[in-house]
Amino acid sequence: MLRQDHSINLQGSRVMDDSTAATVYGATHAPIPAPPDNRILAWIADAPGKPFERRELMVGPLAAEQIEVTVESCGLCASDLAMWRNQWQRSRYPFVGGHEIIGRVSAIGTRALGVTVGQRVGLGWYSGSCLVCRACRAGHLHQCQDLKRLIIDGHGGFAERVRTHWAWAFPVPEALPSALAGPLFCGGITVFAPIAEFVHPTHRVAVVGVGGLGHLALQFLNRFGCEVTAFVEPGAAVDEASTLGAHHVLPSDSSAADLRRAGPFDFILVTTAALIDLAPFAHALAHRGRLHVLGVGCAPLAFSPDVLMSNAAQVSASAIGSPGRMLDMLAFAARHRILPQVESFPMSSINDAFDRLASGKARYRIVMQAEAR
């Protein structure tokens, strides 16, 4: 059931801290007592790699600029696995993962904008930006110097409810079903942002790696109108890449000569973190072409800048995308029916789902579905 009365409880309240999210926008005053329902059922791990247990999490009052969302589904991403294991040395415990959330707005802080109670929204990796730094004022809220991350600065979507700053909640177009759309808010925006910024329909493009990110990139680039080549890991299914939108499919360990024959490419999107030598790909760039890297933990780039100088090519990298790009991505995905291919698990099977993701066999994303309380 939707909780529509929280915002009334908080009417006229002062700006307050959220003891879990630790996100304060504006001045901080003495906190007001937490409403009685500030306990949230969540799947919690108490230490790196420990199994998740379902129990209540105490959260403080809803901050003035936050909204609360009742979770319908939540994708399970490789970043959740890394965070659960504390691979990046920045996890906090008790840990609640999940940052690809679809749900309904159930409460709105007194100064939150842009959404209404009951509205279906999606949440992703970020949960707050300062809104005053240079990047924020330029509209690049995802490059803010004081970014909040949902599963680091608060708790994630493997819970009955979750909170975020209103600027990082996005209305979900009707054409995108809740059971599938979650991964668009992490993997989807990650691949779409550089495509929207750098790619033209006339481009010949390549996607290196056809996994959680790559299978979405192929769909977006095909609908953009590009000629698309997929470079799949040896042994991967060639026909799947074609079905997703690749016009040509080659192995990712193709020789430099084969790569040059397949190219030249105006845009090469590296979506895998596998330790692939990217030098042959740089040699396959077209005049003014771009090699764009998304895979976190990719092998160091090892090629001479001469490769780039000779044809005015560029190398770049990015993470996620701005709120504006998120809206564009959702509209484009809805128009072209672009959705991730997912394996669904009930939320109560969260430990099995983490095992499945760790096995590397999931095709292509995993989405956890909320169950009745």
- Report in angstroms how near the CB of residue 59 gets to Zn ion at its nearest: 22
The binder of Zn ion chosen from 15, 115, 117, 130 (CB under 5 A): 130
Element (H, E) at 316: strand 314-317
Positions in 93-112 near Zn ion (CB under 5 A) = none
Among 32, 34, 82, 133, binds Zn ion (CB under 5 A): 133
Q: What does the alpha-carbon distance between residue 269 and residue 206 come to, in Å, rounded to a whole number?
A: 6
Please, which residue, 44 or 216, has the CB nearer to Zn ion?
A: 216
> CB of residue 369 vs Zn ion: minimum separation in angstroms?
18
- Residue 244 contacts residue 216 (beta carbons within 8 Å): no
* 74 or 278: CB nearest Zn ion: 74
CB 300 to Zn ion: min, Å: 23
Residue 106 or residue 129: which is nearer to Zn ion going by CB?
Answer: 129
> Which span (105-113, 124-132, 196-204, 364-372) binds Zn ion, by CB under 5 A?
124-132
279-338 binders of Zn ion (CB under 5 A): none
Given a contact cutoff of 8 angstroms between Cβ atoms, the answer to whether 75 and 100 are in contact is yes
- Quickly count: other Cβ atoms within 10 Å of residue 142's Cβ: 24
**Shortest Cβ distance from residue 359 to Zn ion (Å)?**
18
Q: Measuring CA to CA, which residue among 280, 356, 266, 352 is closest to residue 313?
A: 266
Q: How far is the CB of 183 from Zn ion (least distance, A)?
A: 8
Closer residue to Zn ion in complex, CB, 18/100: 100
Number of residues that bind Zn ion (CB under 5 A): 8
Q: In terms of CB distance, is 265 or 354 closer to Zn ion?
A: 354
Residue 330 neighbours by CB distance under 10 Å: 24
Q: Which residues pair with 230 in a beta bridge?
A: 207, 249
Which one, 115 or 133, has the nearer CB to Zn ion? 133
R_g of the chain computed on alpha carbons: 21
Structure-block tokens of residue 236: 């991967």
Among 67, 83, 101, 136, binds Zn ion (CB under 5 A): 136
| 357 within 8 A of 334, measured Cβ to Cβ | no
Q: Hey, how many other C-beta atoms are within 10 angstroms of the C-beta on 51?
A: 11
Subset of 137-176 contacting Zn ion (CB under 5 A): 144
* Residue 274 lies near Zn ion (rule: CB under 5 A): no
Interaction residues for Zn ion, span 168-227 (CB under 5 A):
186
d(CA 94, CA 28): 25
Indicate the residue among 64 and 259 with the shorter CB distance to Zn ion.
64
Return phi, psi of residue 155, to 5°. -120, 155
Q: Binders of Zn ion among 33-92, rule CB under 5 A? A: 77, 79
The smaller minimum CB distance to Zn ion, of residues 144 and 293, is found at: 144
Scan for tokens 């937490």, then name that residue. 34
Q: How far is the CB of 83 from Zn ion (least distance, A)?
A: 9
CB of residue 208 vs Zn ion: minimum separation in angstroms? 19
Dihedral sign from CA coordinates of 368, 115, 18, 149 = positive
Distance from C-alpha of 313 to C-alpha of 2, rounded to nearest angstrom:
52
List contacts with Zn ion (CB under 5 A).
77, 79, 129-130, 133, 136, 144, 186
